[in-house]
Structure 1
Amino acid sequence: MMKNAIISALFGASVLSAMPAFAADPAATAVAMVEKGVAYMQKNGKDALIKEVNSKNPEFIDGSIYLTVRALDGTQLAHPTNPKLIGKNLVVLPDADGKLFRKEIIDQAKTKGKGWVDYRYNNPTTGEIEKKSTYFFKYQDVILDAGIFKGK
């Protein structure tokens, strides 16, 4: 129980310290979005978080940055912008360069717990393949992540 209290306190401090950086730093926004998801899950449970993300709760969407939740096997549990992905496991589908970025996210989440993975992906806003970086964090039996496009 003490461990959860410490984790909650650390995440709360991280979210608050990242808030002023939202507009200026997309990476900080992505990290804060994931931390907000973890804090919500700690307070309300995994099922509640999945429901909120899938219902497009604006708390988990900030422009083109949004929270997603996947199982440790790669099955998409929550996705606010593409509901067709929910329930699917796309680990074997590569990015534009053939990189299995979802597998890399899962492998690193299992071994390191958190981090960033870079890949190239279709930006739905521009319709072009662009560099993308996704921040992920493993919490309990899921991975929460949020990605940012970095242009060509």
Structure 2
Amino acid sequence: MPTIQIRPVTANDHAAWLPLWQAYLAFYETALDKQVHAMTWQRFLDPGEPTHAALAWQDDQAVGLVHWIYHRSNWSIENSCYLQDLFVDQRQRGGGVGRLLIEHVYAQVQAAGGTRVHWLTHETNTTAMQLYDRIAQRSGFVQYRQTLS
């Protein structure tokens, strides 16, 4: 496998991040307003925000992304982390990039004093779940949500 480097996004990475982000949204058959894209990107660059992003690079090509958000928990003193978005370019899947991105988040959370990383995936995302079942435990919880206007 060619060398993959994981590094936090910088202001110069927007053009590399955006196509991966759009492919991720297309994978989940959703679209977001351009204002959401812009605000999300601004949050990644703001050191005061609890949300972070990293890209996986093969040579000078971004081949994957991961976004994570720190949050409080009533079950521990330390912060927890929600791994919100994970995407690997279709041509790179099965090569370990997803695992490297998740392990990057694990390392970042540990370095920040956090104690737990959690995430969701769609029940039809069985390929990704094969990886997730090897590197994490299923919680057994079912998600409920309501969009408020």
Higher strand proportion (structure 1 or 2):
1
Same fold (TM over 0.5): no
TM-score normalized by the length of structure 1 = 0.32
Looking at CA atoms only, which structure, 1 or 2, has the larger radius of gyration?
A: 2
